[in-house]
Amino acid sequence: MKTEKEVNRVSAAEDSHLWNAMHKYDPEAKAMVAESGKGSWFKDENGDQYLDGVSGLWCLNVGYGREDIADAAANQLKKLAYFPLTMNHKPAIQLANKLSELLGAQYQTFFSNSGSEANETAFKIARQYHIQTGNPTKYKFIGRYRAYHGSTMGAMSATAQANRRVKYDPGAPGFMHVAPPYSYRSLYSGTAEEKDLAAAEELKEKIIWEGEETVAAVIMEPIISGGGVIIPSMKYVERVAEICKEHQVLLIMDEVVSGLGRTGEMFGFKHANGVTPDIVTMAKGLTSGYMPLAATSVKEDVFYAFKQEGKDSHFRHVSTYGGHPAACVVALENIRIIEEEDIINRVRQLSQTKLEALHDLTEHKNVGEVRQKGFFIGLEMVEDKDTKEPLSEAKIGEIVAGCKAKGLIIGKNGDTVPGGNNIIMIAPPLTSTEDDLDFIVDTVNSVIHSM
């Protein structure tokens, strides 16, 4: 006989033993059980269809249901199911070579399984690099407030969103933060670019005050993703790279979200001129989420420090599953699709011809700013445009739920204090059709205008 709970169950997830990553108790999130996906759309267990306007967790760059990717993984699993990278296998070699080509300079890649791990790997490389090159006191890392770099202790410590940290602090020692290049809410004055450049000078001050002989690296995303789709002037990115060079501080570019085409360049930092980061971290779009895989790509001159004969230059770091052969062939296939289907040009064009219409939303009383780079959009939602008071979580929740009721999944982020999640986030698969993009624009428009 069925228990009362089983009789009333509407979803396989209810009362199940799965601990999902919902932010709070959210019956809506708990009830959603996905079954299948094709293109930009997925179906839940009841057969209802949704357009995934956030690409899962901003990772499904080539969309759901690519059989070419599934076949590549299956074939590899049949051929060589697993092999550790304490030795070598061909898919990992081919992928590392491909990443170096895409990055546009000589990079050596260490593979792991998630964005958090890729950043942890970068931190350990940076510290050891300075030891190997005679600067053992350089151990500190500087990130920016509002940025997110992952969930593990080191990556969380680089993250500067108080809401996410408060229950788990203190984090790892040696991590510190400066103001983000957030011209909409900046302590500095002037044009957007001037405000961002002032934030870069704040970073320089920080390095000087801390003592440049103690600072190992700066970690930054070219566009702050989880902290609210904060898009700086690219002059800021160029200036930060310059400051790092001036002070022998390594630049770690977190491309976990912006890498592999999301912003209309293969990597977000390519929007800036002449920036070649010392370390680039990637995950998400690297496999379009089809397999867990992350990369920490290290410029040749930094890697060289790990090849010194007669010194203990061994990098004491290993990942059982990092660079799994099936994940590497999936990444290679994913990159082949991005290149052969000219997806980056597509993003550039359609982000203008189709998604540009979202900018009209700035006429709405609750939309303080529309930020967009490629298929990466943030709507800064406010109660009042003069005070810039963030729109309440309840109203943001209504917008997200309103879109979902019409078959569109969008996100909310920012996750900071004060304000919570007042940024509406849209990041559809890069393969979304023109109709898909029209559907996104029409749905978001109608829901916001019905407020």
Chain length of the chain:
451
Q: Which stretch binds ligand PMP (CB under 6 A): 48-56, 170-178, 218-226, 337-345?
A: 218-226
Of residues 266-295, which lie at the interface with ligand PMP (CB under 6 A)? 283
How distant, in Å, are the alpha carbons of 58, 122, 151, 164, 289 from that of 222? 15, 16, 19, 21, 21
Smallest gap from residue 260 Cβ to ligand PMP (A): 13
Peptide bond before 418: cis, by omega within 30 degrees of 0? yes
Find out whether 123 and 141 touch, Cβ atoms under 8 Å: yes
For the chain, how big is the Rg over CA atoms in Å?
22
Q: Which two tokens stand for residue 144?
A: 């920016």
Site size for ligand PMP (CB under 6 A): 16
User: Which C-beta is closer to ligand PMP: that of 402 or that of 429?
Assistant: 429
Q: Which two tokens stand for residue 50?
A: 């949704």
d(CA 105, CA 301): 11
Q: Which stretch binds ligand PMP (CB under 6 A): 33-41, 142-150, 402-410, 411-419?
A: 142-150
Determine, following the binding rule CB under 6 A, whether residue 142 of this chain makes contact with ligand PMP: no
Neighbours of 259 (CB within 10 A): 32
**Rounded to the nearest 10 degrees, how much is the dihedral formed by the CA atoms of 6, 8, 9, 14?**
-90
Residue of 60, 234, 257, 410 that binds ligand PMP (CB under 6 A):
257
Q: Which stretch binds ligand PMP (CB under 6 A): 8-16, 196-204, 219-227, 297-305?
A: 219-227
User: Which C-beta is closer to ligand PMP: that of 222 or that of 420?
Assistant: 222
Smallest gap from residue 60 Cβ to ligand PMP (A): 13
β-sheet bridge partners, residue 143: 177
Residue of 149, 206, 247, 404 that binds ligand PMP (CB under 6 A):
149
User: Which C-beta is closer to ligand PMP: that of 52 or that of 198?
Assistant: 52
Q: Which two tokens stand for residue 146?
A: 């509002």
What beta strand segments (E) does 34-174 contain? 34-38, 41-44, 49-52, 107-112, 140-144
Determine, following the binding rule CB under 6 A, whether residue 378 of this chain makes contact with ligand PMP: no
Determine, following the binding rule CB under 6 A, whether residue 56 of this chain makes contact with ligand PMP: no
Find out whether 397 and 388 touch, Cβ atoms under 8 Å: no
Q: Which stretch binds ligand PMP (CB under 6 A): 38-46, 115-123, 347-355, 357-365?
A: 115-123
Smallest gap from residue 284 Cβ to ligand PMP (A): 7
* Coil, strand or helix at 362: helix
Tell me which residues touch ligand PMP (CB under 6 A). 57, 114-116, 119, 148-151, 221, 225-226, 254, 256-257, 283
